[in-house]
Structure 1
Amino acid sequence: MGGRPAHHLWQAYTRDAPQPLTPQPGIANDVSGLNATAMRTVAVAADSAAALRQLRQLLDTARARHLPVAIAGAQHSMGGHTVAAGGMRLVMRPFRYLHLDTVSNLLTVGSGAHWADVIPYLNRHGRAVATMQSDNAFSIGGSLSVNCHGWQPNQPPIAATVESMRVLLADGRLLTCSRQQNQQLFRLTLGGYGLFGIIIDARLRTVPNALYTYQRVAGPAEEYLVNYRRYVDANPRVQLAYGRLNVTKEHFLEESTLNFFVVHQAASPYADLPEPGLANLKRAVFVGSKRDAYGKQLRWDLEQVFTRNEVGKTFSRNQIMNESPALYLNRSTGQTDILHEYFIPARHYNHFRRVLQRCIPRHQADLLNVTLRNVYADHDTFLPYAREEVFGFVLFFNQALTPAAEADMIALTRKLITEAERLGGTYYLPYRLHATPAQLQRAYPRFQEFLQLKQKYDPQAVFQNQFYQQYRVETRNDQL
């Protein structure tokens, strides 16, 4: 690579020096950097018995002093879901034990563990995660609390893989929850954003760590669904799949790639788990696409070349899923990166794609990436975002840290939620709290019942966060 591409990438790399971050004592935040909140942070003990004693003592204190308690794992949600002003934040990260039952192939995992802990552990036993996000930096407790999904096609979200979990309630009771035991609490805690109790651990179903062959199909974005039906739906050997849409100005959301992995053979129980390569180059390519038309075109072109060269190569499931989001995390002052996700019924895929083509260029936010994920209906959680087969449009924006940019993002978000609703779709709740109360209520029509049941399990509202604090008040007022 020479000439202009090399010069552009070198400039992007040199501008990307990490900014020194000095944590402010007594201030908690999340990955967005937009939710700085004054509160006490407490790390939970790694030992199970010690942690339970510690948590019960902290909950006693919270009830006696009327302090809100927020729960944090990797803190990758973006709407203040892990903070509550003036309260305590319980960081579950140290609580990360792992045990695989080699007869049932169920993994018992502490809620503070990250997928980056789980994947190497399962790899040693020839097993792999059934459902998770596309990156490994998220905690298990957080993943269950947002009911995550990923590249696992034609599957419901992660809740479907949970056999049972233990939940510590605000009054100190420790309950085992499953589809047979404490069913209502099971449904409320999965996708419940930490508002019903502390997930202590969970028993998750695992799958074999097979070897997969990578395949891709490039074509017009309007034909993506047709290609998906032909190459993924029609082939039960496809185990992972995702799509990308072109975000360049000249071909904005008009071109697509369908990327999928087909079972090749069973992997060795001790298959290698190498670190992904070319990290600096990949990051320079991504950073160089921010607010730069040439950079976006270069990134799309390089991705096409790279993925074409990968066709036919084999990778273990664990190798594919063991990716870190460090390649994409913002390091620059004066800006942040924001995620949206909209779940659109399959039949309306092209309708919503055209909505994005019309709406996004009218706003200031810089769209960096669009990923497409298929999700089947969720029958396990109280607030499902997928009530039928949907395609998730994952939108990754760069946003300036100015009041004008924030106001513009709010306007764009509300417009896209309205359009998704018109098509029978929903939006994902872990992100910025820009939806109006009425939009939330329409997208999740059982939200008022969700709040009422919180009073049943947590009558003093010990467990709180900004998401709860905002919509608890506003949705009630909106109904008046």
Structure 2
Amino acid sequence: MKKINLLFCCLCLLLSIETHAVIVNDVTGMTPVQVAAVVQPESTQQVAELIKKTSGPISIAGGKYSMGGQTAIQGALQIDTQKLNHVIAFNPEQKLLTIEAGASWRQVQELIDPYGLSVKIMQSYADFSIGGSLSVNVHGRYFGEGPIILSVEEFKIVLADGSVVVASPKENQDIFYGAIGGYGGLGVITEVTLRLADNVKVKRVNKVMPISEYYRYFSQHIRSDKAAIFHNAIIYPPDFKKVRSVTFQQTQEPVTIASRLRPLVKPTLWQKQKPKIIASSAFGKQLRKLHDYVDYARRGDQ
């Protein structure tokens, strides 16, 4: 029965491969690359079988937010991980989640939010794939947490010979520290166990100041703030003279925004055009600055 199941999985995998050359792109739509074929495996086993059967170059694509053609190689096989997105294990009490690397951070948030849990380290946006985030060792605005590697308990990776290895800070350490931030050079990360965090209420505190004062302000007021969860500073072009310090602090105050997760909606035409308008001229950059002043004042931040 196991042999039949394996043969069936291999057949499904082969059927999911485009049998002719195909043009792929990243999210910008500006980097078309003609690859030999595209495959969407749905398990670690399928990834391993695929790599064993492939003699040429292989590229890996997740959310395809890496711009400039990094997710595709001319004439190569592209492994698209969008269907490699299953939850393997979830233990809310231990704050541990094992999930396949093609899943998005939004998928993780939707799963863990009802349990009062939050992602410990990720980027500021939830569209990216977990595998892509690991491959570049991302960081976010999390204060004092560092890059994502500090929240990873272990992962499975398929190496170039098709072997599956479990790596952690204690097991196969060279692969663990080489693959996270390794841009897919050592193999395909297929499953990852993440350490989660408590989901706490935060309030936004901001202050605009001359950019020359920011370092002193950060050193005196932010660095030692034990309530700080997130922090970033917004520098305003084209003069670069002002900076807005933005800190999200843990609070016990009543929430002012009731929604726990931002609704998934398609961006409006205006939202799509805003970045182009802002980037196109000095006037656009002044509009961005004005928008922030109005928005932060409207929300009543300190």
TM-score of the superposed pair, with normalisation by structure 1: 0.54
Provide closer, same or farther for how the CA distance between residues 146 and 257 of structure 1 changes in structure 2, counting only shifts above 3 A.
Answer: same
In the alignment, residue 291 of structure 2 is paired with which amino acid? L
Go from structure 1 to structure 2 and tell me whether the alpha carbon gap of 1:301 and 1:271 turns closer, same or farther (over 3 Å shift): closer
In structure 2, the CA distance between the partners of 1:265 and 1:102, relative to structure 1 (3 Å rule), is same
Residue matched to 1:247: 237
Instruction: From the superposition, tell whether residues 267 and 205 of structure 1 become closer, same or farther in structure 2 (CA, over 3 Å).
Output: farther
Change (3 A) 1:278 1:263: farther
Q: Distance in 1 between matches of 2:231 and 2:266?
A: 22
Q: What's the counterpart of residue 8 of structure 2? A: none
Match of 1:236 in 2: 226
CA-CA distance at 1:214 after TM superposition: 0.8
Determine helix, strand or coil for the equivalent of 2:167: strand
Equivalent residue runs for 1:7-406 within 5 Å: 26-46=22-42, 51-63=43-55, 67-98=56-87, 99-248=89-238, 252-265=239-252, 272-275=260-263, 280=268, 282-312=271-301
In the alignment, which residue of structure 2 is the partner of 1:373?
Answer: none
* In 2: Cα distance, 1:95 partner to 1:204 partner: 16
Q: Which amino acid aligns with 1:58?
A: L
Q: Quote how far apart the aligned CAs of 1:172 are.
A: 1.8
Q: For the Cα contact (< 8 Å) 1:69–1:89, is it kept in 2?
A: yes
Matches of 1:130 and 1:164, distance apart in 2 = 15
Is the 1:73–1:91 Cα contact (8 Å) retained in structure 2?
yes
Q: Which amino acid aligns with 1:275?
A: P
**Matched AA of 2:79:** L
SS in structure 2 at match of 1:289? helix
Q: Structure 1: 5+ residue runs without aligned partners?
A: 1-23, 314-480
Q: Give the whole-Å Cα distance in 1 for the aligned partners of 2:221 and 2:228.
A: 8
Alpha-carbon separation, structure 2, partners of 1:130 and 1:190: 16
Cα shift readout 1:392-417 (whole Å, capped 9, x = no counterpart): xxxxxxxxxxxxxxxxxxxxxxxxxx
Find the residue that maps to 2:252 and give its secondary structure. Answer: strand
Deviation at 1:267, TM superposition (A): 9.9
Judged with a 3 Å threshold, the aligned counterparts in structure 2 of structure 1 residues 264 and 178 are, in CA distance, closer, same or farther, namely same
3-state DSSP of counterpart to 2:124: coil
- TM-score computed with the length of structure 2 as normaliser: 0.84
In 2, distance between residues paired with 1:266 and 1:208?
17
Deviation at 1:271, TM superposition (A): 6.8
Give, in angstroms, the shift of residue 208 of structure 1: 0.8
Letter of the 2:148 partner, please give it: I
Contact 2:21 2:35 in 1 (8 A): no
Between 1 and 2, higher relative CO (CA 8 Å, sep ≥ 6) is seen in: 1
Asked if structure 1 preserves the Cα contact closer than 8 Å seen for 2:48 and 2:164, the reply is no
- 1:265 match: secondary structure: coil
Cα displacement (A) at 1:155: 2.3
Q: Which has the higher helix share?
A: 1
Residue by residue, what CA displacement relative to the aligned partner does 1:48-77 show, whole Å, maximum 9, x if unpaired? xxx3343233212213xxx10111101111
Give the 3 Å change call, closer, same or farther, for CA 212–306 of structure 1 in structure 2: same
Between the two proteins, what is the percent identity of the paired residues? 27
Offset of residue 247 of structure 1: 0.9
SS at 1:83 equivalent: coil
Q: Residue 101 of structure 2 contacts residue 191 of structure 2 at CA under 8 Å; is this kept in 1? A: yes
SS of 1:210's equivalent?
coil
Cα-Cα RMSD = 2.6
Distance 1:246 1:79, change over 3 A: same
Matched letter for residue 38 of structure 2: V
Deviation at 1:262, TM superposition (A): 0.5
Q: Are 1:106 and 1:204, in contact at CA under 8 Å, matched by a contact in 2?
A: yes
Change (3 A) 1:282 1:28: closer
2-structure distance, mates of 1:277, 1:235: 35
Distance of aligned partners of 1:290 and 1:25 in 2 relative to their CA distance in 1, 3 Å threshold = farther
Distance 1:125 1:284, change over 3 A: same
